[in-house]
Every structure is written in structure tokens, then in C-alpha cells.
Amino acid sequence: MDKTIKRIIITLATILLLSGVFAVGAYASATWLSFEGDEKVSNTESNIDEIMDILRQVNEDKLSAEEALEELEDMNPPGLVEQIKELEEQIEVLKDEKQVLVDENEALNEYVEHLETELTRANEKVDGLSGRSEDAVEEAREIVGE
């Protein structure tokens, strides 16, 4: 009987030991080993959704920008950019030619003013000579008539 009691005591001790280990494990899993990442997972999902929305918006903007570029290219007949550049160059050439003509016009205006001054001076001389010639004619008449 001694052996039977020892076996029962060993069996009970083993059962109690296993029960204790199970209880400690259950307690540990309830408190120490509990998963606390639910909030982080939901935040991560929210962040992923936001990132995907941003990426979709960027993709839509990219597509709309590409579509706008295609529309502009469709509206632009071939060579229009070159024609615009050529016209801008022609505008610059015409501006230079205009400036040359303006400068020539100013020079001609100065020459006309000079000619007007000379004409006025010549007219004054003619008036002076005309007066003297009339005096000379009268004097000659007086001499002849005497």
C-alpha cells in the first residue's frame, strides 16, 4: 500500500503541478501576453487607405495633365512653334528697322529746321537787298531826272 499511496501522491502532485502551470500560463496569456496591436493595426489600415487615396489622386492628376498635353499637341499643328519663333525674330528685325527709320526721320527733321533757318536768313537778306535796290532806283531816277 505504500507504493499505491506514493503513486497517488505523485499523480496528484503531477496533476497539481500541471494545473498550476496551466493556471500560470492562462494568467500570463490574459495579462502579460495579451495582443495590444489592434489600435496600431486600425491606424495602419487608416494610413494605408489615406496613402492609396493620395496615390489615386496623383494618378488622376497625372492622367489629366497628360490628357491636357495631348489636347494641346492636337491643337498645335506641326511647325507652329517654329512659325512662332520665326515671327518673333521678324518682329525683332522690324523693330530694329523701325528704330533706324525713326533715327533717320529725326536727322531729316534737324536738316529741315536748318534749311528753314537758312531760308529765313536768305529772305531777310533779300528783303535788305530789295530795300537797297529800291533806294538805288530812286536815287538813279533822281540823278537822271535832274
- Enumerate the H helices of the chain as residue ranges: 2-31, 38-75, 80-145
99: pLDDT strictly greater than 90: yes
User: Does pLDDT of 109 surpass 60?
Assistant: yes
What residues does each domain of the chain span?
38-75, 78-146
Q: What is the pLDDT of residue 33?
A: 55
Given pLDDT bands bounded at 50, 70 and 90, which one contains residue 36? Answer: low
> What's the pLDDT band for 52 if we cut at 50, 70, 90?
confident
Mean pLDDT score across all residues of the chain: 80
Confidence grade of residue 32 (pLDDT, cut at 50, 70, 90): low
The SS3 assignment for 37 reads coil
